[in-house]
Amino acid sequence: MMLTLLLALATSAAAAAPITLNSNCPPSFERTAANTCQLVTRYDAYDSLHNKGVGGTQTALPKTRDGFSPQQIDLGRYLFFDPLLSGNHRQACASCHQPGQGFTDGKALSTGTHGDVGTRSAPSLWNVGFLKKLFWDARADSLEQQALIPLFAPHEMANTAEQLLTDLTASSAYPALFRQAFPEAQQLELSQVATALSAFQSSLISLNSRYDQYAHGYHEALDPEEINGLNVFRSFVARCAECHTPPLFTNQQIAVIGTPEPAGMPFDQGAGNNSEKTKLRGAFKVPSLRNVARTAPYMHSGRFATLDEAAEFYTKGRGHAVADQKLLLHWHIWEPKLTPEEIGQISKFLHTLTDESLLPAVPTRLPSGLPLPAEIQVAESPTATVQNSDISSTTTTTSAPSNNQRIQP
C-alpha cells in the first residue's frame, strides 16, 4: 500500500513540468565537437611520473574516464539522487554517498534500504573516474560494474534489474530523458543506467585544493606547519606518499595493513574474498586522501574516528595490527615512531587536500516525482563561474562533521 501511494505521488509530481537534460559539460570539462566532455586541468602540463614512487608535487594525473556526453552526465546526476533505484523507493546512491559528507555517509558502517547494517564504510567518490579498481576490496574493474552492484545487493539497495527497468519505463519522465542521453538506442536498457551513473561519477573532480595551489607554484597557499606536515608525509621515515602518491594521493594498489575490526565484528578478508592468493587476505585498496578531512570515520570499517587516530595506527605499525590472523603485512607497515607533533602536522597537511569547489547541484526535484532521500539537504548557493568550463556551476553547501568530532559506529 505504501509503495503504491509513493508511486502515485511520484507520478503526479513528475507531471507538473518537464525536466530536460543539460547540454553543457560540467565545470573543468570542455565539450568537444563530438558532444563529449573532456577533463582539462593544470596537471595536464606535467610529465607523468605516476606509479614510479617519486611522489613529486608536479606530477601528471593518470588517464581518467571521460568522453561521456553532457546529457549522459546530467541523467546520471538525476539517477544518483533518485530513490527510484532502490527496491523500496526510499534510498538513493546519494544516501550513502552524500555530497556534504565527502560523498560518504559519515558512518563507520553503511546502512541498507531495509535497515541492514553493512560490513564496510562507504568509500568516497571524489576523483573516482581516475581509479582502475573500485570498492574497498577492488572487485570491480570499471565504473559501470561498480555502479550496478549496490543496486542489486540485498543488504544495500535491494532492487532487481527487472523491477528497475519496469519502474524507469513506467515513469512519465525517464524514457524521454534516456532518449536525450542515448539518442541511438532503440529502448531503455540496464547498460544505459550503468553508463549514466558512471558518467556522473566521472565528473566528480577535486583538484583545486590549497595543496594543489601550492603544487602549482603558489607557495603561500600553505602555512609553515602544513608544509612541515607535507615534508613528514613525504619523508622516508613516515613513507605516507609511497602509497598515497600525489596527485591522486593513492598508488591504486591493494595492500594489507592489518587494520583491526570494530569490537564484535568478524575479520574482513577484503580482497582475499576474491582470490586464493594468501598475500591478499585482509588486503584493501589504497584509498585516495583527497577530501579526507570530510570523510571520517576512517579505514574500511570506520575503525578510527579522527585523522590523528588513523596516523597513530600507522606509527605503531606492526605491533598495532591484527596479530591472530598471521597476515602478510605490506612492507611499508613498520614502526616509524612518529612524535605527537609529527602526527599533528600530518593531520594539518591532510586538511589542505580539501576541495569541494565543484560540488554538483543537488536536484530540487526528481524525474520520478519521489522526494529526495531524507539524508540529502538541498542548500541555496550562488552561481560561480569556473575556469576551463563553458558553463557556470551551481554549488550546494551542506554541513559535515568536523574531523575532530568523534563519530560513533
Segment 136-172, tens digit of pLDDT:
999 999 999 999 999 999 999 999 999 999 999 999 9
397: pLDDT strictly greater than 70: no
Q: For 360-368, what is the mean pLDDT?
A: 96
- 397 is a domain residue: no
Task: Indicate the pLDDT class of residue 205, thresholds 50, 70 and 90.
Answer: very high
Task: Give the count of domains, the chain.
Answer: 2
Domain-located, residue 404: no
In a domain, 407, yes or no: no
CATH number of the domain that residue 324 is part of: 1.10.760.10
Taking residues 367-377, report their average pLDDT.
90
**Residue 401 within a domain:** no
**199, 227: one domain:** no
Residues 264 and 157 both lie in one domain = no
The domain of 383 spans: 2-207+360-392
Half-sphere CA count of 51, side-chain side, radius 13 A: 8
Instruction: State whether 88 and 183 are in the same domain.
Output: yes
Are 62 and 199 in the same domain?
Answer: yes
Shared-domain flag, residues 30 and 89:
yes
Q: Residue 8: pLDDT band by 50, 70, 90 thresholds? A: low
Q: Is pLDDT above 80 for 56? A: no
Do the domain assignments include residue 66?
Answer: yes
Does 364 reside within a domain?
yes
Place of cell 587516530: 309
Q: Is the predicted pLDDT of residue 383 greater than 60, yes or no?
A: no
Cα separation, 120 vs 96, in Å, equals 11
Residue range 214-227, pLDDT digits in tens:
999 999 999 999 99
Task: Tell me the mean pLDDT in the region 273-294.
Answer: 91
Return the pLDDT at 4: 57
Model pLDDT, residue 315: 85
The string of DSSP codes covering 117-157 is B-SSPPPP-TTGGG-SSBSTT--BSSHHHHHHHHHH-TTTT
Q: What is the pTM of this model?
A: 0.86
The pLDDT of residue 386: 30
> What does the pLDDT average to over 114-126?
94
pLDDT at 392 over 50: no
Q: Is residue 227 part of a domain?
A: yes
**Could you tell me if 29 and 203 are in contact, meaning their C-beta atoms sit under 8 angstroms apart?**
yes
Distance CA 127, CA 70 (A): 18
* Residue 328 domain-assigned (yes or no): yes
182 and 270, same domain (yes or no): no
* 126/227 same-domain check: no
Residues 202, 214, single domain; the answer is no
Q: Would you give the end-to-end CA distance of the chain in angstroms?
A: 33
Is residue 214 located within the same domain as residue 202?
no
111 and 25, same structural domain? yes
What does the pLDDT read at residue 23? Answer: 97
Q: Please provide residue 26's backbone torsions phi and psi, each rounded to the nearest 5 degrees.
A: -65, 165
Same domain, 302 and 180: no
Between 22 and 3, whose confidence is greater? 22
Each residue's pLDDT tens digit, 244-256: 999 999 999 999 9
Asked whether 40 and 90 are in contact (CB, 8 A), the reply is no
What pLDDT does 259 receive? Answer: 87
In sequence order, what are the beta bridge partners of 255?
284
- Please check the confidence at residue 12 and state whether its pLDDT lies above 90: no
Is the separation of the CB atoms in 207 and 355 below 8 Å? Answer: yes
Instruction: Identify whether residues 7 and 78 lie together within a single domain.
Output: yes
Report the mean per-residue pLDDT for the chain: 86
